[in-house]
Amino acid sequence: MLKVIVVGAGINGVTAAIELKKRGHKVILVDPGPLPHPLAASTDISKAVRAAYGPDEDYTALAERSIELWRDWNMEFGIELYHETGVLFLRREVMQPGDFEYESCRIFEKRSHKFERINSVKLRERFPAFNAERFHDGFLDPEAGYVESGRVVATLIERAKSLGVELCDGKFAALREDDTRVKGVVLQGRQRIGGDAVVVAVGAWTPYVLPFTRKFFRATGHPVFHLKPHNPELFSPRHFPFFGADISTTGYYGFPLNQGVVKMANHGPGREMAPDSADRVVIPEEESNLREFLSGTIPALVDAPIVYTRICLYCDTDDGDFWIAPDPERQGLVIATGDSGHGFKFAPLLGEITADVVEGKSNPLLEKFRWRPEVRSGLAKEAARFQPDR
């Protein structure tokens, strides 16, 4: 049995803590709180769950497994955390080889994953909020949807506590190290906690709390908007599923009516910023860009009042893949982060992957998520694969 300190109680940290505890380890979960933390990427009313990943079959397969487990969690927890509304990806031009949408459909066909092509006629008849004159091609994946992300984290925190995970209310300050290995953590106020292994799962805070990781990670901010529609029925899940519209070029995606609002967000290059930056607010240019997008895409929302905004932070890797790996230079340290732009959908499997790293077990995904010093911080390669989960 190991004593494992997990730093960060977002979706990566809490799932790792639960899985490690189930495997018989002593687990301390460190977070300054409150939980869910209001600034965490995990905290919001919705995150996307979908299997469309362009040509990357590894993520499609992982998402298919995750969707089955999301359904199991709905049954296990007795609440509908996962809403299977489907996902609609639209294009102005006909799909061509190399496009995100075309390659997603190709992988779906290969895997016998059901989907439906959508043209302007079908769009006008079934999804009337969209401008059917603009979009001539696309597809609907009926098994995708969204999860109530803040509620998920709160539910998993309670599960962790019920299993005996020890929650420590504190803010990480430094690693405890000697010449050979990491032996624990130091919290603000100089409190020290010793352990056999430390898992750092702090998302966009990673390059700031562990400065040596700035070679690999970059924190970027992306705008999120909640709009109150004048005609709510147009935006019910039946008429308005989770969607992406010319996603590879516009970056815009959105969710059906939930808690009285339609959530819209942009997954583009973003703005590099620290998690506690004073710049962590939606700026007028971002709102103006949203209104321009809506005017041609979803006219019924163009003058809908914006009732809430936030900046969601990602922890980007240059190749767009997770980074769930032991530090080769600091024995006892595991970092579980990277590309927060698509992490939440895989929540039911993230803990298993991280726990395998801690225990030194084999897992076919660990080569993809390995410690890879050849990667340098920068923008994820979105031309190859769009990764929304906000």
The structure's pTM equals 0.93
Q: What pLDDT is stored for residue 257 in this prediction?
A: 98
CA-to-CA distance for 257 and 195, rounded, in angstroms?
Answer: 45
Per-residue pLDDT band for 377 (boundaries 50, 70, 90) equals low
Which residues make beta-bridge pairs with 306? 227
Q: What pLDDT is stored for residue 388 in this prediction?
A: 46
pLDDT in tens, 124-144: 999 999 999 999 999 999 999
pLDDT in tens, 322-374: 999 999 999 999 999 976 557 899 999 999 999 999 999 999 999 999 999 88
Domain hosting 185: range is 1-72+148-390
Does residue 140 sit within a domain?
no
Task: Give the tokens for residue 161.
Answer: 């506590």
Does residue 360 sit within a domain?
yes
Closest by alpha carbon to 87, among 137, 33, 51, 57?
A: 51
pLDDT in tens, 81-140: 999 999 999 999 999 999 999 999 999 999 999 999 999 999 999 999 999 999 999 999
Amino acid at 380: A
The whole-chain average pLDDT of the chain stands at 93
For the cut 90, the answer to whether the pLDDT of residue 319 exceeds it is no
Per-residue pLDDT band for 384 (boundaries 50, 70, 90) equals very low
Of the given ranges (34-38, 125-129, 221-225, 350-354), which has the lowest mean pLDDT?
34-38
- CA 367 vs CA 55, 142, 362: distances in Å: 18, 31, 9
CA 91 to chain centre: 23
- CA 115 vs CA 71, 125, 173: distances in Å: 19, 18, 48
pLDDT in tens, 291-316: 999 999 999 999 999 999 999 999 98
Q: What pLDDT is stored for residue 39 in this prediction?
A: 81
Are 218 and 228 a contacting pair, CB within 8 Å?
Answer: no
- CA 99 vs CA 191, 248, 274, 371: distances in Å: 52, 8, 33, 29
For the cut 90, the answer to whether the pLDDT of residue 383 exceeds it is no
Strand order in the sheet with 82-83: 47-49, 145-147, 82-83
Does residue 96 sit within a domain?
no
Q: What pLDDT is stored for residue 347 in this prediction?
A: 95
Closest by alpha carbon to 38, among 343, 339, 308?
A: 308
Task: Give the tokens for residue 90.
Answer: 């639209």
Does residue 310 sit within a domain?
yes
Per-residue pLDDT band for 382 (boundaries 50, 70, 90) equals very low
Does residue 127 sit within a domain?
no
Does residue 134 sit within a domain?
no
Q: Which is higher by pLDDT, 37 or 187?
A: 187
CA-to-CA distance for 154 and 152, rounded, in angstroms?
Answer: 5
CA-to-CA distance for 203 and 43, rounded, in angstroms?
Answer: 12
CA 144 to chain centre: 14
Q: What is the CATH number of the domain that holds 318?
A: 3.50.50.60
Does residue 29 sit within a domain?
yes
For 169-222, give the DSSP string: E--EEEEEE-SSBEEEEEETTS-EEE-SEEEE--GGGHHHHSGGGGGT-EEEEE
Task: Give the tokens for residue 160.
Answer: 């962790």
CA atoms within 13 A on the CB side of 105: 19
- Total of domains in the chain: 1
pLDDT in tens, 155-202: 999 999 999 999 999 999 999 998 889 999 999 999 999 999 999 999
Are 251 and 223 a contacting pair, CB within 8 Å?
Answer: no
CA-to-CA distance for 189 and 173, rounded, in angstroms?
Answer: 9
Does residue 272 sit within a domain?
yes
